Amino acid sequence: MHPEPDRCTAPFARLLGESAVRKTDGGLIVALGSTPLFVFDAKAAAAWSAGLVRPSADQNGSTFGFTIEVASLDRLRAHLAAEGVTTKESEGRILAPPSAACGAVIAFVRQPDSLAAPRPAIRPPTKHSAILPPDM
């Protein structure tokens, strides 16, 4: 969280290239490979976290949350409930509150189908075999 996210544009562009930085309502989205870094003002941070983030007096660079992709939101929901973690759901995400995540909000989202699909096992090669997919 930053009181003036636009001030972070130039430093991130210098570090990661201009194409990695995109302006959005209330802040910036910085591409870090396949993981976005959100630099939001207090209002945008509160909206992203479905109200779980309450801005402090010191917003200069404070971390408020991040996203993790999971294969199944249903299994995650069951696991968190079994562990006694109170969550909030918003926009297809399961949000773990700061009290459960060392002061940050964790937004769990479902992985894209291409990443969640099981991958076929590969048999290890032997001295006299070639490596072939298991269905061949």
Domain assignment present for 44: yes
Task: Quick: pLDDT tens for 80-100.
Answer: 998 899 999 999 999 988 888
The CATH code of the domain that includes 42 is: 3.10.180.10
Query: What does the pLDDT read at residue 129?
Result: 37
Three-state SS at 122? coil
pLDDT of residue 93: 94
Mean pLDDT of the chain: 79
Which carries the bigger pLDDT value, residue 136 or residue 13? 13
CA distance 18 to 35: 16
| Bigger pLDDT: 54 vs 38 | 38
Within a domain: residue 128?
A: no
Count of domains forming the chain: 1
Q: Using alpha carbons, list the distances in angstroms from residue 100 to 43, 82, 106, 113.
A: 22, 14, 9, 28
pLDDT tens per residue, range 95-129: 988 888 777 788 999 988 875 555 545 444 444 43
- Residue 136: inside a domain: no
What distance, in Å, lies between the first and last C-alpha atoms of the chain? Answer: 53
Is the pTM for the entire model greater than 0.85? no
> Residue 97 is part of which domain span?
5-113
Q: How far is it, in rounded angstroms, from Cα 70 to Cα 26?
A: 27
Q: Judge whether residue 37 has pLDDT over 90.
A: no
Q: Is beta strand 65-70 parallel, antiparallel or unpaired with respect to 35-40?
A: unpaired
Question: What mean pLDDT comes out for the span 24-52?
Answer: 88
Within a domain: 14: yes
Residue by residue, DSSP assigns 77-102 as HHHHHHTT---EEETTEEEE-GGGTT
pLDDT > 80? residue 31: yes
